[in-house]
Amino acid sequence: MIHERSIADLIAARAAGELSAEAVVDAYLARIDRHGDTLNALITRTPEAARARAAEIDGALAGALAGLPIIHKDIFCTQGVKTSCGSRMLDNFVAPYDATVVERLTTAGAVTLAKANMDEFAMGSSNENSFYGAVKNPWNTDYVPGGSSGGSAAAVAAGLAPAATGTDTGGSIRQPAALSGVTGIKPTYGRVSRYGMIAFASSLDQGGCFARSAEDCAHVLAAMAGFDGRDSTSVEADVPDYAGQLTGDITGLTIGLPREYFAEGLEAGSREAVMAAIDEMKALGANVVEIDMPHTDLAVSTYYVIAPAEASSNLARFDGVRYGYRCADPVDLDDLYNRSRAEGFGPEVQRRIMIGAYVLSAGYYDAYYLKAQKTRRLIAGDFHAAFDQVDLIAAPVTQAPAFPIGEKADDPVAMYLNDVYTLPASLAGVPGMSVPAGFVDGLPVGLQLIAPWFEEGRLLNAGHAYQQATSWHTRRPPGFE
């Protein structure tokens, strides 16, 4: 069946004339019609535009991803399509242009099927903070898929598309990839353009992708990545042929296990699955050593000062005046501002704006924000020191598998701790990836791999080698085969 084929297979079949773009797109649109409402993974569907685009591609084969269906996280501006960022604030916003990520994937021949549900303004770890309701995990629809890119992860896991885009600020690609049983990669900060990607925390936000395997991610990331003069944080560096670097050989690769990531808090089932995955990589020829990353325990507090501070600044533009939600019948300008923001933003976004405004305020800037930036430098230093000793770092993605919807909704601190293993890499700007590594009580567990800056090829090859030797990434959730 078409939805069971890898991206490499679909590309090859399309190039050989064995499959038309229209046939592939129609197959995935049929799956969206069948399963889309079950998971609440999608906000906006674009079937007519997708079929028209597929017909164009069939008329003139072009692009490395010609005819490949894709779903975009609803944080990426998509011309002529609602781009809501999961928020009431932007429920009526139709983007007048394409984000660079959307533009590049479209140029490569990808066909947009839909926009994925997400935590509002990418703030969340469970995809319960969306204005459009919680996304459900296809492995158990009573459980969360992870967040904030939960809609993208759930869609790929359920076979609604072979690939989806996402963003990772503190773990929002790797964490839902782990909880939903798919592969997800966050590249180096600056590798993928942020132009047209609605900002949460500008020094942390980074676009990436989800797919079934590391090999599939390699094809999509190669089309997304590259310098963009419209993004001041974009890095001018050549993009390798990631798929061409997938030798599957990791003989002699040195992998570091940070002691701090395997300490108290990691549940036994997840630890067992991750260690089994590491043993498999040892069997493939990798060397494994323990390393120290002494500032890991500061990552959560550091992130939850820096990210809200940047969010409070970025979200100041949503004031009910220029675009987005506006309250009804304001009595004056102050009322317009106050009610538009209070009614347009959800509780988690309001919480983070208030925290951010506080840590940036006079008298507290030095005590909180400046100190957090200094601590961030120490965390980055841990990675510099680690990569002087090892080629890759392996670690858990989460402390435990997915949890029931609503279980942590009233405990923000417990929710924030879900990202304890993903935050350090985000603060340092290094690339990280989650690959499926087993199950605990029927729910997926991910293995996190972290590489030095701009070594996404090394990361993808290690994941590919592991996936050549295992079958976790080929499993399908019951009912979504």
The C-alpha atoms of residue 371 and residue 281 are separated, in whole angstroms, by: 38
| Model pLDDT, residue 412 | 83
Those residues of the chain that have pLDDT short of 50 are none
Tokens 């242009």 locate to: 97
Contacts of 73 (CB under 8 A, 6+ apart): 115, 116, 118, 149, 151, 152, 164, 165, 166, 167
Contact 162, 69 (CB under 8 A): yes
The C-alpha atoms of residue 324 and residue 341 are separated, in whole angstroms, by: 10
Cβ neighbour number for residue 105 with a 10 Å cutoff:
27
Q: Which CATH class is domain 2-250+401-474?
A: alpha beta
Cβ neighbour number for residue 142 with a 10 Å cutoff:
10
Contact 65, 46 (CB under 8 A): no
Contacts of 177 (CB under 8 A, 6+ apart): 146, 153, 183, 184, 210, 397, 434, 446
| Model pLDDT, residue 417 | 80
The C-alpha atoms of residue 301 and residue 210 are separated, in whole angstroms, by: 28
Burial group, residue 37, by CB count within 10 angstroms (0-12, 13-18, 19+): exposed
* HSE, side-chain direction, 13 A CA sphere, residue 455: 16
Catalytic positions, written as ranges: 73, 148, 172
The C-alpha atoms of residue 39 and residue 135 are separated, in whole angstroms, by: 6
Residue 252 corresponds to which tokens in the numbers above? 């002699």
The C-alpha atoms of residue 32 and residue 147 are separated, in whole angstroms, by: 20
Contact 188, 383 (CB under 8 A): no
List residues bridging with 394 in a β-sheet.
449
| Model pLDDT, residue 61 | 64
Angle made by CA atoms 476, 479, 481, in degrees to the nearest 5: 40
Domain boundaries, the chain: 2-250+401-474, 297-373
**DSSP, residue by residue, 135-192:** --BTTBTTB---SSSHHHHHHHHTTS-SEEEEEESSSTTHHHHHHHTSEEEE--TTSS
Q: Are strands 432-440 and 183-186 parallel, antiparallel or unpaired?
A: antiparallel
Cis-peptide, bond into residue 148, ω within 30° of zero: yes
Residue 296 corresponds to which tokens in the numbers above? 């890991």
Closest by Cα among 279, 286, 254 to 438? 279
What pTM value is reported for the model? 0.96
Give the start-end residues of each E strand in 222-303: 254-258, 287-291
Contacts of 173 (CB under 8 A, 6+ apart): 149, 166, 167, 184, 185, 186, 208, 209, 210, 434
Contact 426, 168 (CB under 8 A): yes
| Model pLDDT, residue 4 | 94
List residues bridging with 186 in a β-sheet.
432
Contact 293, 424 (CB under 8 A): yes
Contact 328, 291 (CB under 8 A): no
Supply the angle between the helices 347-359 and 299-314 in degrees, to the nearest 10. 100
Closest by Cα among 201, 417, 235, 386 to 311? 201
The C-alpha atoms of residue 294 and residue 291 are separated, in whole angstroms, by: 9
Supply the angle between the helices 214-224 and 100-107 in degrees, to the nearest 10. 110
